[in-house]
Amino acid sequence: MAPGRNTREKLEELREVEREKRAGEKKGGGPDTNEDGTVRFYKNAASPARLAALQVTRIVRMREAYAQEVIETVVDSSDMSEADRAFATLLSLGVVSTYGVLDEVINRALDRPADAFSDVRDALRISTYELIFLGKQPHAAIDQGVELVRAISPSAHGLGNAILHRIERMRGEFPFGDPNTDIDALARVYAFPKWMTRRLVEDMGAKDAATFLRVSNDPAPLFIAVNALKATDGEVIEAFSACDAALTPVLVNGTAVAGCFHVSNPRVLVEGAIARLFEDGKILVSDASAQLIASRVLGDEKPASVLEVGAGRGTKTILIQSDAQRRFGSQVDLTSLDLHEFKVGLLRDRARAYGADLSDALVGNATRLETVLGDRTFATVFVDAPCSGLGTLRRHPEIRWRINKENIDAVGETSFAMLCSAAEHVEEGGRLVFSTCTVTYDENTGMVKRFLESPAGSRFALAPIDGAPCISTKLDEGSPDAHFAACFVRKG
Ligand SMILES: C[S@@+](CC[C@H](N)C(=O)[O-])C[C@H]1O[C@@H](n2cnc3c(N)ncnc32)[C@H](O)[C@@H]1O
């Protein structure tokens, strides 16, 4: 998860910021904005796909929203042709993922970076993306860019024209250095913040970091999990093959994950028979690495009680119960906990819909679990920790520009405190499983080391998973997301 997102307070705060920005930009001659965040454009000749991308990227910027969610409301539900919807999606995701680099390029073309206020920048980013990252013909990209500027601020079209021509003249110099020797140029090529690129190279080594950066810009593959609480694998495979869609079993790090399948054609999910599998709670969408980790939480023997900390909206809760059903023939006694009441509400609804039993679903701060649990202990405690989410950038391309070093440190502190607090609630001989969906050393291997060296961790030993010290899935072409998990056993 991206740090600190999705709370109602945060949304309210963002709306307030947006109202203020709207008032400020209006004074500066900006366009009228509707309540849903869309802009009322001035007369222009920009193509529908580019205008839609402008709406999406502006809303993502102003509301700090996830691009995929805005695309669903602005693009997917529009009456544009399929080709236009695809182009609008390509532009929207491209712009939000390359945001900081586009701004750097635009700034290089400006005498003073403040010369283009934020609404005009939204328009310029689209054409700059087309020129720099899509290698589009200058004629079309610049003409359309000027129209986008006109749609936002008719008086700024001359400025827009001048800036885009300057960018076109400098594009041969991009990435302004040799990516093989200059880390800032490497960051620009793959559109990552420079500090993050340096950190990834330090943590992973140059070769793995370059693969990670490259693959993070690919479209995310689609995986489903068969919910063994409601369906069999055979039934689901048959339903897909009746729709002419093959399901491929998935190996993650060379290990088979029961009930996990790759879907090669995402469009098939809206087919009647497949949509019904979702409605009936027989399948759910979940990354294959997340499915692998959920299937390793319970260990070889059915535990008498399980506590899941950081349960969120309950995807892994459902997967854990589905795994218990598959392997032990019945569900486990499971208590879940999350900080946010609205997530716990969603978890309860989803658990019911998917047939997953909950002994309890608690709201509480897991850095101080004793305030909610007293001295209760469990045979297995699973901490699905909040993290920087860098392993999931293909699904949330915009978050790389929202995270900073301080966020990563802060979320790491929360995660460490959750792990130490959870350790107090593991029975003697019990399991403590820790997982993240990120790749930084401090949040993964460094966290394991830090925990084992801490007073809370001194009573635990690292227990291998599938013969390895931990699960660490790496990004590669077509691979699942990069996740991490480690398992500790409480010494007697
Ligand atoms: C990686 S996400 C969980 C994803 C979830 N397990 C799933 O499978 O859908 C981490 C979760 O930790 C929760 N969290 C963050 N800080 C917390 C805290 N101090 N106490 C309890 N939960 C917290 C977040 O609300 C978030 O839902």
* Residue 465 Cα to ligand 1 middle (Å): 23
Binding-site positions for S-adenosyl-L-methionine read 338, 384
ipTM of the complex: 0.99
Prediction pTM value = 0.89
- Proportion of the chain above pLDDT 70, given as a percent: 93
pLDDT score of 271: 83
Q: Is 449 helix (H, G, I), strand (E, B) or coil?
A: helix
Phi/psi class of residue 360: alpha, beta or left (left: φ > 0; alpha: ψ in -120 to 50)?
beta
Weakest-pLDDT range from 11-15, 310-314, 328-332: 11-15
pLDDT in tens, 106-132: 999 987 766 667 889 999 999 999 999
351 lines ligand 1 (CB under 6 A): no
Q: Is 135 helix (H, G, I), strand (E, B) or coil?
A: coil
Using an 8 Å Cβ cutoff, are 488 and 434 in contact?
Answer: yes
* Residue boundaries of the structural domains of the chain: 8-173, 184-215, 294-490
pLDDT score of 13: 40
Cis bond before residue 266 (omega within 30° of 0): no
pLDDT score of 113: 66
Weakest-pLDDT range from 23-27, 58-62, 443-447: 23-27
37 lines ligand 1 (CB under 6 A): no
* Residue 266 Cα to ligand 1 middle (Å): 28
pLDDT score of 333: 98
Calpha distance 37→210 (Å, rounded) = 36
414 lines ligand 1 (CB under 6 A): yes
pLDDT band at 30 (very low <50, low <70, confident <90, very high): low
Give me the DSSP letters along 19-72: HHHHHHHHHTTPPPB-TTS-B-PPS----HHHHHHHHHHHHHHHHT--HHHHHI
CATH 1.10.940.10 is the classification of domain 8-173: yes
116 lines ligand 1 (CB under 6 A): no
* Residue 386 Cα to ligand 1 middle (Å): 5
H or E stretch including 77? Answer: none
Is 437 among the catalytic positions? yes
339 lines ligand 1 (CB under 6 A): yes
* Residue 341 Cα to ligand 1 middle (Å): 11
Q: Which atom of ligand 1 is nearest to the CA of 290?
A: 8
pLDDT score of 181: 94
Average pLDDT, the chain: 92
Average pLDDT over residues 213-238: 96
483 lines ligand 1 (CB under 6 A): no
- Indicate if the pLDDT at residue 266 is higher than 90: no
Q: Which CATH class is domain 294-490?
A: alpha beta
Nearest CA to ligand 1 atom 13: 310
Phi/psi class of residue 45: alpha, beta or left (left: φ > 0; alpha: ψ in -120 to 50)?
alpha
Q: Which atom of ligand 1 is nearest to the CA of 6?
A: 25
Q: Which atom of ligand 1 is nearest to the CA of 308?
A: 6
Calpha distance 313→20 (Å, rounded) = 32
Q: Which of 260, 420, 437, 487 is catalytic?
A: 437
